[in-house]
Every structure is written in C-alpha cells, then in structure tokens.
Amino acid sequence: MNDNLKVQIKIKDTYRTYILLFLSFLKKSLMPVYSTACPRNCYSTCSFKVHVENNRIVNIDPHPANKSTPEGICIKGLSYVERAHSKDRILFPLKKNQKGNFDKMSWNEALDEISSKLKYFKEEFGPKSILFYAASGMSGLTNEFSSKFWELFGGATSMYGNLCWPAGLEAERLTLGDNKHNVPWDIENAKLIILWGKNPAETNIQQMIFIEKAQANGAKLVVIDPRRTPSSERADLLIQPKPGTDAALALGIANHLIQNNWIDQDFIDQNVLGFEEFKLSIFSYSLKKISLLTDIPEELIEELAYDIGNLKPMTLAPGYGMQRFTNGGQSTRSLLALSILSGNIGKPGACFHYANLQSYVFDNVKEPMSYYPEIASNPIFRRSISMAKLGKDMLSAKDPELKMIWVERGNPVTQNPDTNTILKAFRKLEFRVVIDQFMTDTAKEADIILPAKNMFEQTDIIGSYWNPYVQLKPKVLDTAGEVKTEPEIYYLLAQQLGHSKEEINKYIPDPGNEKIEDYLKARVKEFPELDWEKLKEKPDIAPGHQEIAFEDLKFNTPSGKIELYSIKAKEKWNVSPLPTYEPLVDEELSLKKKYPLQLLSPNTKNRIHSQFGNLNAIKQFSNGPEAIINASDAIKRGINDGDKIRLFNDRGELITKAKLNFSIKKGCVVYYNGWWLQEGGTPNLLSEGRETDMGYGSAFHDCLVEVEKNE
C-alpha cells in the first residue's frame, strides 16, 4: 500500500470518528434532561441532571447550580442507571407460599387479602394491634400520606426515636437552641478543621472539596478516629482515641484551654450560660488523667488543645458514629463546648458542623422533636415501640399484643439493633406486609410484598440536613412492571376498606402524578420565596436560611444564651446539666473481661446503610463482608489474614473472614454496617437494643465481642 493511500484511509477514519462523536453528541442533546436530587439518607443530598431515553435512565451529569455538590454525585448515585432498571427489582405483588418461596399475585388479590386482614385485626383486637414501621430509605414530602392513611384507618401502633443521629441533635438543640451550621462551602474559610469521628472522603465526598481548598489556603486538618481512614490520609494530625471516650478527651482539652487562657472570654461573658460551673466541673481532667482514659499520648492532647485555642477560625465536624453510644448525647455536648470556649460560633469559618435543618421548611415539628413520643402525639396512635429496642418492644407489647406489621422505606431485620430478637418478634406476628424495591432480609420475612416506586417514578420535594437547598425531584419515568406509588397503594387500600372518595381525599390525593404535583405546588406556595417553575430547573436556597449559622448570636434556648448548663437536659433526660464523661454501659457491667474487643460498624462508601450493595455496579468495588482487626490482636488469637473467623458475644455470632492491618486501633474490630443476612450477616446480630442517653437514639456501638478462628 502506497503512502498516499494510507493517508486517504487515515483521513476517512478521522472523519468517521468525528461523525460518530457528533451523532452521539446530537443524540444526547436531543434527550430529555431533568434537574433532580438524590432522596437518600445521606449528608450530601446531591443535585444532578438525568438523561432519559425510551423510559430509561441512560446518563447522569453534575448539576453545578448546587454549590454544595457542584462536581457531581457519588458512585452510589451513578449506580441509579442500574438500580432504576435492575433485573432484581420487584415489579409485581408477591405472596409467600407454604414452601417459603414467593409467587406472583394480582393487585386485586393483594389488596383484598391485606384489607381483609386489616379489618379482622381492627375488629378483633383494635387498630393498635397493627404496627406501622417506616424508616428513612426515601425522603420526601409525600411520605406523610403513609401516616395519613393510618389516621384514616383509625390508628395503629407506631415508632419513636431514630436509628441515626438524635443524641447529637438533642445535645446541640439543648446547647444552641437549633440544629444548623454554616453553608458547606464556608469551610474554605477555616484555618483549623477537625473531623471528629467523621470520614467525609467516603461518606460526604463533596465536603472534601471545600476541606482541600481550605488546606490549600493553609488550614490544618485534624482527624480524630479509632480508624485510619481515607480522610485521615489527607490530615496533618491523626488522633486515635479508645472508642466511647470522646467526651473525656473533649473535657480534658476544655480544661487545658481554660488553664492556659486559650479561650474567648468576651464571647463567653456575653453569650454563654454556665461557664463557671463548667470550669469547676472539669478541673480534675488533667492531661495525665485524659491520656489514661483515652489511650492517647499527652503530647498529642496538648497539641490538639493548642490548635483549638490558637488557630482560628475553627470548624469542628463531628460524625454520627461517635453519638451512637450510650453516652452519645453528653459526648456531643462535650465536643460542642470546645467550639463555644474558643468563640467559634456564628462567624465565617467558625462552626459546629453537625446538622443543618434549615431547609426543612415544610416540617411543623423538626427533628429531633419529631422523634419523641410525647410531641405532637395523636391519641389514636400508640407510639410505644422504640427504634432502638424494636424486637424487645414488639414482643412485650400488651393490650393489645401486636398481630401485624406494615414496613416501608426500611429494612429493620438488618438495620435495627438486635437482629435475632427482631426476627423472633416478626415471626411471632400473624401477618406481615413489606413494601420494597428488592428482596431484602425484611422482605423475605413478609407474607405479602408490594413493589415500591423508585426515585424517578413520582414527583416529590426534599430538603437536606447538610446543604441549604429545597429541591424538586420530578417524575421522569413511568412506573415499571405493575409498580404503584405508595400514595396510590394507600388510596386503593382505603377504597377496599370501604371509605368513600370524599373521605379518602381528606387524607390522600387521587392516584396519578398530576394530583401529587397539585399537592406539592400548594405546599410551595406557602413560601413566596420559592417558585415551582424555577425549582424544575435548579435547587433553591431555603427561605430564611442563615449562611453563617447563629451570626446574629440569637439562641433559641430558655435563657436566650448558649447553655453549657442546661436544666432541660436534667429535667428531660436525667443527665447532668453540664457536659460530662460517662463510661459505656458494657464496661460498667464488667463485660470487657469476657468480650475484650470493641465492635464498630461504620458506614462505607459503597452503601447507604443497607441500600445499593446488591447492585453489580457496587459489587465490583467490594470484597464482600470481612472483619478488620488490628494485626497484633489477631496474632494473639492465632488468626491470619483471610482466615475464616467467628465474631461472637452473648447475643449472637457472625462467621466471616479476617482482614488484618494496623489501620484500626488495638482492641477494636470493624465490620461495616449494611450487609444483609443473605450476603453473610449484619453486625446487628451482635448489637444490643438500647437507647442513647438522650434523643431516643440507638446505641449500636456499645457492643463488645470476642473473635476466634473458625476451624
């Protein structure tokens, strides 16, 4: 072949490539593109743009209009392309047969059987013999139609508390009066950033954008965590305390700040109640004492104290795992004291970065108050089952006993503490209904499974507990298979129970997304600052939002000041009015001798609790369940890397494989939260169902275990 012919062929190939690229671009540009947002229980609540072709999600792009998440959604969000159309999705009602398998049934059959059971239990035992369980699997204003149905039905038994973060919420509410923090991008202004038990490089990846910008401007990053994490790899200082001793560390630092006059006395004098009492209460917390309690060298504690007292402004960002101990609320109050003493409240770059509920403008009662059984209680509901003690409370319910459960937006068998007791409680019931997209461990326990909508099949409005935006999540797909949205399920079930259209419409709109949007538009009109058409294009800042939280130095507490001394803490939760360090319950019970290892069950980048891990897009990045053990602890027990091992305590056991390294503090074992029983086992086979010291949270991490080689 001569050179001239080669050149001609090369030119033709180049033209062909350009033409194909142009056609691909043209095709993509002609696809409908929608602005939407992720409704999962996750910090970021990312905005993104979704491309739709032939009723399928085909592409996901960043949405730069959201300043909190401008660079795009995480790996879990990208996997929506698979999740929306997964071959494993439940698309029809299913009924368990005598062999324990599931058969397809029609909607008429499903609604008829469920309504018959509801009528029977209500007539024979009363409506409170039915437990309505709903969790946080999908957020949105339309979730309220669930409780509206049960109100129309005449009541039910319902849940109180929360699995995630209420001890910390209540601690902040008692101290500052509200749960809010500076906008996420304000972290760029900080000169000291402390990630206390938080790993945003995996669980809040967009926050790392602003942290790294701050570091580029000279900020110091400190990570406090028993684990060495991807976030700590970016840090200037890693401190690894003994789990559950966070309050002791914070109080020791507070005492050192005071003794060295590294505090903002003017800020304290003008804005803080209880400083003198607090000062006296922590006088005995010497560096030596704190070093012994926390297993941290004195020089590291002193370095951290110096930084807090002298590097300003400081943003302190606690994670949620730290407050999932029995002392979680008091620990959070102790951490918060460091921001208060150093005057790092209400200023750019200065913030206690725990929770920001300013976008929850549609909530009549905000978290954590909405978790409390005595708040806004409707007498037709028996709000008596604790999220933390689900299994025990179900079994102990009397007058009436529980006969049926209805589960939606949750996977309690896997995700609530004490799985073995929950399974016992579920199996004692006469009837179980679960609404879900996939065959989770909880769905497998059902008598009837109803297929749940996915996030693209119904319009909704969501807020965020991290960013400041109100966001519209539009319907962009028709429902797959025979899927019905939850409001439609409730409407049809109410009809089957004999309610008239007029009765139902007082609680639930007619079926169809148009009616849902009519309802949502009416809610948006409550706020002149919000506009429906603009929300279709991009997120909008919540009305009344403070970019710098507490910049007006107004605190919604009884005294109108920051309350280091909170009489409300004593009255409601029977804890000290002052922040204190309290040893963990298991250690008080001397269980450490029998079970010397502390089990931690943090979140991973690959899941949001028990969601997403079943997708192939996620599985390729996971090695499957494993227990991470400090190599020195493993060697003492004759355990090698990759060995099959048994984690156990008095509540249960897990058989898994060992992963040995030195990233985890000695005396600790890590087994990630979210694994299903059918994948190898949940850490909640080992956890105790008990509440945190305040907020009705779940003390997952008060969990001591032993590990042995499984021959």
Please report, for the chain, the start and end positions of each structural domain, with discontinuous segments joined by +. Answer: 1-28, 171-354, 585-709
CA-to-CA dists, residue 157 to 72, 269, 313, angstroms: 41, 48, 48
pLDDT value for 16: 65
pLDDT tens digits, residue range 231-244?
Answer: 999 999 999 999 99
Distance CA 290, CA 349 (A): 28
pLDDT value for 593: 87
List, as one string, the DSSP characters of 275-295. HHHHHHHTTT--HHHHHHHHT
Length of the chain: 711
Mean pLDDT across 100-111: 98
Mean pLDDT across 97-121: 98
pLDDT value for 8: 63
Distance CA 278, CA 454 (A): 50
HEC profile of 143-204: HHHHHHHHHHHCCEEEEECCCCCHHHHHHHHHHHCCCCCCCHHHHHHCCEEEEECCCHHHHC
pLDDT tens digits, residue range 244-274?
Answer: 999 999 999 999 999 999 999 999 999 999 9
For the four alpha carbons of 394, 399, 403 and 406, in that order, the dihedral sign comes to: negative
Query: How buried is 295 (Cβ within 10 angstroms: 0-12 exposed, 13-18 middle, 19+ buried)?
Result: middle
pLDDT value for 585: 85
User: In this structure, which amino acid lies at residue 525?
Assistant: K
Write the CATH number of the domain with boundaries 585-709. Answer: 2.40.40.20
- For the cut 60, the answer to whether the pLDDT of residue 23 exceeds it is no
Per CATH, 171-354 and 585-709 having the same topology is answered: no
- Check: CB of residue 494 under 8 Å from CB of residue 511: no
pLDDT tens digits, residue range 579-617?
Answer: 999 999 877 677 888 999 999 999 999 999 999 999 999
CA 371-141-167 angle, to 5 degrees, is 25
pLDDT value for 461: 98
- Check: CB of residue 441 under 8 Å from CB of residue 426: no
pLDDT tens digits, residue range 425-454?
Answer: 999 999 999 999 999 999 999 999 999 999
Q: At the top level of CATH, which class does the domain 171-354 belong to?
A: alpha beta
- For the cut 70, the answer to whether the pLDDT of residue 205 exceeds it is yes
Instruction: Name every residue whose Cβ is closer than 8 Å to that of residue 24 and which is 6 or more positions away in sequence.
Output: none
Cis before 297 (ω within 30): no
Mean pLDDT across 469-496: 98
Average model confidence (pLDDT) across the chain: 95
State both tokens at 117. Answer: 């059971």
- State the alpha helices, DSSP H only, in 434-592: 441-444, 486-496, 501-505, 513-524, 532-535, 567-573, 585-588
How much of the chain is helix, strand and coil, in % rounded to 5? 35, 20, 45
pTM score of the predicted model: 0.95
pLDDT value for 24: 56
pLDDT tens digits, residue range 330-364?
Answer: 999 999 999 999 999 999 999 999 999 999 999 99
- State the alpha helices, DSSP H only, in 31-106: 75-78, 80-83
CA-to-CA dists, residue 297 to 241, 326, 506, 525, angstroms: 10, 25, 63, 57
User: In this structure, which amino acid lies at residue 708?
Assistant: E
User: In this structure, which amino acid lies at residue 308?
Assistant: I
CA-to-CA dists, residue 18 to 5, 9, 10, 12, angstroms: 20, 14, 12, 10
pLDDT value for 375: 80
Distance CA 215, CA 194 (A): 12
- For the cut 80, the answer to whether the pLDDT of residue 383 exceeds it is yes
pLDDT value for 540: 98
- For the cut 80, the answer to whether the pLDDT of residue 9 exceeds it is no
Nearest to 202 by CA among 224, 233, 226: 233
pLDDT value for 587: 72
Distance CA 542, CA 522 (A): 16
State both tokens at 105. Answer: 């049934």
